[in-house]
Amino acid sequence: MAKRSLKASTFGIEKAKRAFERIGWTQEYLAAEVGLSTRQSVWKFFKGKPIERHIFIDLCFQLNLHWQDIADLPSRDQLLTEQPTTYVASNPSDASQLVTIARAQLQGQVEAQCGTIQSFFEFAQPLPLENIYTNLNVLTRLSNQRWLEVADLQSSSGRSLGFTAPERETISALDAVTNQNKLMLLGKPGAGKTTFLQHLALQCIRGNFKTDCIPVFIVLRTFAVQAKECQDFSLLGYLQRFCNNYNLSLEQIKSLLQQGKVLILLDGLDEIPQQYEQEIFQQIQQFAQLYYQNSLIITCRIAGQQYRFNGFTYVELADFNPTQVEIFAKRWFVATANNSEIGLTKANQFLEQLHHRANQPIRELVTTPILLNLICSVFQERLSFPSKRSRLYQEGLDILLVRWDRSRGIDRDRAYYNLSLPNKIQLLSQIAAVNFEQGNYFFEKSQLLQTIANYLATLPDSHKDPETLRLDSEAILRAIEVQHGLLVERARGIYSFSHLTFQEYLTARKIVASPNAEELNHALQKLASQITNPQWREVILLTASMLPKADYLMQQLKQQVELILAEEPQLQEFLKFIDKKVKALSLPYQPAAVRAFYFSLFHNRDLNLAIALDSKLAQELDNNLALDLALERAFAIALSLVANPDIKQILNFSFSLEFESNPALSADMKQALQSFKQQLPDPAKGKEHLLDWWSTNGDDWLKKFRSLINEYRYYGINWNFSHYQQELLQKYYLANQFMLECLDSKFNLTVTTKKSIEDKFLII
């Protein structure tokens, strides 16, 4: 067995003391953190005296130290001289000694192979993996094994379409590998499969996971190359060649395997060249059965699993949840900053902006670790997201289509129907647009294959034979799934894009790529007609951002906004009244902002649009606007009193009528208001009297109060909108809000067009 006690080396004591001083704890506090009732073990630790192994490791963990760096361990040469070069374990004690030898031999190799992560986005220097590693979760039931209908997946509305399926059961990935000896870990490209195996290898060799085992991390594409060179595809042969470099004999390796002392981590089953797949699959299965005592974990892309391994539990890596996104972001920015304080500040800025309403599409992407890594890198330089989000989405698409595999030297199946990168993007754009136009975010495999076949039929050298097109479509769908992960099988035979954001981006890209000006204008007219449909807002914004000139689209959007009230003469008169009211006032605000102020005053009391048009409205209001706002608020309180008399509301109403000091209040109106206030019940007569008066007389008094306001402030006009008219006004209001969002975006829009639209806000 391994020693039950450990002590710190001279070097380790100094390193531990420096770490302890940086943290600023007392020895008593450190003892409490590791569950000790006294500080005796802590004192011994810093004095270099032996203490129990698990306490030693816990103390190092609390000090953010690797215990192997602190412990006074025997050197590799010492271990080798103490043991014979050829060793076959005959009892548990011998096996433990052999594990100790092997771990000492392999420590440096595992640390070098798995200890860092290379970002291909920005940083030339590798980052320590454990500095940014974030714990993962797995789904216990595979997505593509569920028997669901399209309607089951698309039953929700808005952007929360069940892409991340938060209601599905997940467990910690570490729990999954702890509880299962044979595990197949499936995941989308960039989901964190390789990083997880690296983390396991490090935790194992550092004594934090499967402490009685040695980890062997094998990249299967590298294994295939070496196996081809020596014409030996067996895993045992690979282990022999690997361990020979570290003075471990075949007999020792077999002894370790027979004792179940090896943690075998096979990464990238989907990356094996096609000609070697069958041979390597069979070798893995035979090895797993022969040396069944050992833990064996294999990673593979979800769509890449073509071979079922007997005795293996299959799980699927889950998307990051909000907590994991936050943890990763903080670790990433701290790891890439000059100091932790600066990094944490950047992380908090990142998370704050990420949760802005306008950045919802970006929030959908960060659930995939590789895309979260990208978005952190983009944010790092300017401390903001790109004003044109299409550039960010294009970068994400480029990673999944090309750079992710290329950065790791993976050469995928070339039989992708010889489609060039532009062809692939055109095909994906076609799939995205056809389904988005039909309101489909999830689609059946048969529909998907037909869309692919239709596209292939348009290519110059394509086969026109239906059966050939069908087979080619099947092959291409599989290639898109395995190689890029942009299309995902959410249930048996039901697909969607990996992120709704990519479907929206590709739909916009197809519109912008219209072959000529006439077809582009027709597509833009059709797009503008969707301005009142919230599902199309992001597509409109993306299209506008990618157009060389967005003037035509913006003009079409403005026309569609005006058409919302075109069939309602009363609502058009309402807008004319507002314009007349605004022109009669001399105010220090933008006219469009004042029109928005009065529109909301009569409709929904939402001043956000008015403030967005002129921020000065968020400060102290002009007397005329303040008076009208106070009158409408008083009327709203009185209206609720009539519907539901309440003593607290009665008191609030009394306070709401205290605006006689406003200079905009004319003498005549002031006198009329005093007369109306005298008609209200006397509070001194008690609660019952007040409630009874409002129940009996409140409705009549309220109508007269409305008439008085209209007479003195609104030219005697009284608006009684129907429920349908209120809905139209709300649709019109939201469309104008969206128009303003478009104008505030950094589109290629001429100053003339922008000013023309701004001047006509809320004008028929």
DSSP state of 399: I
The pLDDT score that the predictor gives to residue 87 is: 42
Cα-based distances in Å from 237 to 104, 232, 279, 283? 22, 7, 14, 11
Token code pair at residue 105: 């031999």
The pLDDT score that the predictor gives to residue 354 is: 94
* 260 shares its domain with 329: no
In a domain, 556, yes or no: no
DSSP state of 274: G
The pLDDT score that the predictor gives to residue 303 is: 66
Rounded CA-CA distance 1/259 in Å is 14
The number of domains in the chain is 5
What is the DSSP pairing of strand 51-52 with strand 5-6? Answer: antiparallel
* 181 shares its domain with 305: yes
The pLDDT score that the predictor gives to residue 417 is: 54
Smallest CA-to-CA distance from 449 within 464, 432, 471, 434 is with 471
Collapsing DSSP to helix, strand or coil, 465 comes out as: coil
* 692 shares its domain with 642: yes
In a domain, 505, yes or no: yes
Per-residue pLDDT tens digits for 219-278: 998 899 888 888 889 999 999 888 888 888 889 999 999 999 999 999 999 888 888 888
Collapsing DSSP to helix, strand or coil, 215 comes out as: strand
In a domain, 507, yes or no: yes
Tracing tokens 């009284």 back to the chain, one arrives at 718
Residue 306 sits in a domain of what CATH number?
Answer: 3.40.50
Range list of β-strands (E), 484-585: 487-491, 494-497
Rounded CA-CA distance 413/429 in Å is 22
Rounded CA-CA distance 430/455 in Å is 8
Q: Are 690 and 646 in contact (CB under 8 A)?
A: no
Cβ-based neighbour number of residue 10 at 10 Å: 9
How does 179-197 read in b/e, with b if 16+ C-beta sit within 10 Å?
A: ebbbbbbbbbbbbbbbbbb
Rounded CA-CA distance 469/432 in Å is 20
Which amino acid, 686? Answer: G
In a domain, 757, yes or no: no
Rounded CA-CA distance 257/289 in Å is 12
Which residue stretches of the chain have pLDDT < 70? 1-4, 33, 35, 74-93, 118-125, 155-167, 303-305, 403-417
Query: Element (H or E) spanning 297, and its range?
Result: strand 295-301
Smallest CA-to-CA distance from 265 within 320, 324, 222, 302 is with 222
Instruction: Give me the half-sphere count of Cα atoms (radius 13 Å) on the Cβ side of residue 110.
Output: 25
Max Cα distance, the chain (Å): 111
The C-alpha angle 317, 318, 322, rounded to 5 degrees, equals 140
In a domain, 531, yes or no: yes
In a domain, 537, yes or no: yes
Domain boundary among 317, 337, 369: 317
Residue 23 sits in a domain of what CATH number?
Answer: 1.10.260.40
How many residues in the chain? 764
Gyration radius (Cα) of the chain, Å: 35
Full residue range of the structural domain in which residue 207 is found: 92-114+169-317
In a domain, 143, yes or no: no
The pLDDT score that the predictor gives to residue 162 is: 44
DSSP state of 737: H
* 483 shares its domain with 446: yes
* 359 shares its domain with 278: no
The pLDDT score that the predictor gives to residue 199 is: 95
The pLDDT score that the predictor gives to residue 2 is: 41
Collapsing DSSP to helix, strand or coil, 314 comes out as: strand
In a domain, 557, yes or no: no
How does 655-692 read in b/e, with b if 16+ C-beta sit within 10 Å?
A: ebbebeeeeebeeebeeebeeeeeebbeeeeeeeebbe
How does 519-536 read in b/e, with b if 16+ C-beta sit within 10 Å?
A: ebeebbeebbebbbeebb
Which residues on adjacent β-strands are paired with residue 297? 183, 265
Q: Are 146 and 327 in contact (CB under 8 A)?
A: no
* 175 shares its domain with 307: yes
* 681 shares its domain with 710: yes
Tracing tokens 């073509």 back to the chain, one arrives at 306
Token code pair at residue 506: 């590709």
The pLDDT score that the predictor gives to residue 424 is: 87
Collapsing DSSP to helix, strand or coil, 472 comes out as: helix
Domain boundary among 317, 352, 377: 317
The pLDDT score that the predictor gives to residue 88 is: 43
Token code pair at residue 157: 């509305």
* 310 shares its domain with 189: yes
* 120 shares its domain with 110: no
Measured on CA atoms in the order 450, 453, 454, 455, is the torsion positive or negative? positive
DSSP state of 499: S
Smallest CA-to-CA distance from 62 within 26, 37, 115 is with 26
Q: Are 252 and 103 in contact (CB under 8 A)?
A: no
Rounded CA-CA distance 417/308 in Å is 27
No. of helices (H) and no. of strands (E), the chain: 37, 14
* 628 shares its domain with 669: yes
Q: Are 144 and 302 in contact (CB under 8 A)?
A: yes
Cα-based distances in Å from 568 to 312, 571, 581? 66, 5, 20
DSSP state of 192: S
Domain boundary among 23, 43, 73: 73
* 728 shares its domain with 618: yes
Range list of β-strands (E), 129-209: 137-139, 170-172, 182-187
Per-residue pLDDT tens digits for 144-170: 777 777 777 776 444 444 444 555 788
* 492 shares its domain with 538: yes
Rounded CA-CA distance 654/178 in Å is 68
